[in-house]
């Protein structure tokens, strides 16, 4: 399975593509889509959609893993990021790619094993799990790889409910 992790933003959108087969994960590529600072938000959103559609066409992911929004103290920035995230969701749907959303705590739990892990711990586990020579840069790309890893671990940890004797208790 080819998993494209996306760390949403409006100035920098991190992406990371991995393959996941059973317990094996491999990093294929990572990077960032950027928009110039002087552009109006509407132009930046248009560029994000166009660039993301091109990226999906090039990378051909089977699934996309994207971070749910977490608002901190800067509501103005949060609203702009929410607009950009909406464009990313729209683009995934337009391209017909299944989309899965994860909170920061879910990503930390899946990658580090602790939902309140520090960012450096997540980066270190990215480095280890993907057998990388260095921690990916920019941080947005590293976050996107963590989102892809989160989905790889979440998707492979679910027990299939094909046997009628097995009942879901949640």
Helix, strand or coil, per DSSP, at residue 138? coil
* Nearby residues of 82 by Cβ (< 8 Å), 6 or more positions away: 69
DSSP classification of residue 159: P
Question: Residue 12's beta-bridge partner residues?
Answer: 34
In 3D space, the residue among 84, 96, 82 whose CA is nearest the CA of residue 48 turns out to be 84
User: CA 56 → CA 105, 107, 117, 147, 166, distances in Å?
Assistant: 26, 22, 30, 16, 37
Contact 50, 32 (CB under 8 A): no
Contact 135, 16 (CB under 8 A): no
Active site residues: 7, 67, 140
């Amino acid at each position: 399975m080819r998993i494209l992790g996306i760390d949403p933003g409006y100035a920098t959108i991190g992406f990371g593509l991995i393959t996941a087969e059973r317990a094996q994960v491999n990093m294929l590529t990572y990077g960032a889509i950027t928009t110039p600072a002087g552009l109006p938000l509407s132009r930046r959103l248009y560029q994000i959609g166009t660039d993301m559609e091109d990226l999906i066409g090039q990378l051909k992911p089977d699934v996309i893993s994207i971070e749910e929004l977490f608002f901190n103290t800067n509501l103005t920035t949060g609203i702009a990021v929410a607009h950009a995230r909406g464009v990313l969701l729209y683009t995934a749907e337009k391209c017909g790619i299944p989309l899965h959303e994860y909170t920061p705590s879910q990503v930390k739990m899946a990658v580090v094993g602790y939902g309140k892990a520090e960012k450096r711990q997540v980066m270190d586990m990215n480095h280890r799990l993907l057998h990388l020579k260095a921690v990916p840069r920019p941080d947005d790309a590293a976050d996107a790889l963590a989102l892809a890893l989160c989905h790889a671990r979440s998707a492979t940890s679910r027990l299939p409910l094909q046997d009628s004797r097995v009942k879901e208790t949640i």
